[in-house]
Amino acid sequence: MSETIAKKTILSGIKPTGSLNLGGYLGAVKNWVALQEDYNCLYMLADLHALTIRIDPAVLRKNSMELFALYIACGIDPEKNLLFFQSHVPQHAELSWILNCYTMFGELNRMTQFKDKSAKNAENINAGLFTYPVLMAADILLYQSDLVPVGEDQRQHLELARDIATRYNGVYGDVFKLPEGYTPKVGARIMSLTNPTHKMSKSEEDENGTVNLLDNKDAIIRKFKRAVTDSETCVRHAEGKDGINNLMSIYSAVTGKSFEEIEKEFDGRGYGDFKLTVGESVAECLAPVQQKYNDLISDKAQLEAIYKRGAEQAGYMAMKTLRKVYKKVGLIPRA
């Protein structure tokens, strides 16, 4: 029991706005698996966050169940972690409103992701997109999270969560724990295969730039064969070699080999040989994930039992924080 109490709490989540890709797997989910032995981990499907864009309801439901099954197929053990849908724990939305009242308009206006997404979706600049970071802060602070796995594109949101918590604590005492960011050392930022200066993304316009976890072996190898490289033929990690650097990062992440070992392995061998090997290694890495996913997705009852249990346990934890927040601001305790 004392060992469990001593563990730090980690919370993270992914929006079900598209298929889980290799970047999300190597940069986030694979690292989550390594954390589950040493931390109390909560992993959510951030389906409320997905609503800031217009998405077909049937597609959202399909993506959500697919992603939930993939979490488990990737090695996230529901017996060791809490797995749940964000929308199944209403305290997320409740705390978000309270925190909105302790967040300054100017802070939200400075969020670079809001500016970027507004530029890309000029016809749908909604209030949810603007206050998205406050809901993210609620996600984190509800569970008194110690660590939050974040990429560089989300670090600004984490800092805002800390600022909101500090402001609230300054008025009402130490209600919220201030979370720290956690960035994995390997595979933290996997880039597009066709545009290696940009992160591999679910919203990639060129389907050849993104490897989805459910792509078959032929599709995976075909995409790697088409990967952008450079005019050289030497496999080495160096400035200005974005395509090769990205392929080396991917190969390193799926094999555990260092850049130095990779350079020695492919000394005197061309890019074609290298790209084929990377593609085959990725396909081999994903094969057991795909097999387990196929078994899980056909057993809806098992998945439902897992996410119901996760939501109940997460809701119990979240309510402890929310009761304290409500009491501090002067709201009448609910019966």
- Please give the Cα distance from 208 to 265 (Å, whole number): 26
- Please give the Cα distance from 261 to 125 (Å, whole number): 47
Distance of CA 17 to the CA centre of its chain: 12
Distance of CA 143 to the CA centre of its chain: 17
DSSP codes, 179-201: -EEE--SSSS-PBPSS-TTSB--
Active site members: 117, 199, 202
DSSP codes, 165-181: HHHHHHHH-S-S---EE
Burial label, 299 (beta-carbon count in 10 A; 0-12, 13-18, 19+) = exposed
Burial label, 247 (beta-carbon count in 10 A; 0-12, 13-18, 19+) = buried
- Please give the Cα distance from 248 to 257 (Å, whole number): 9
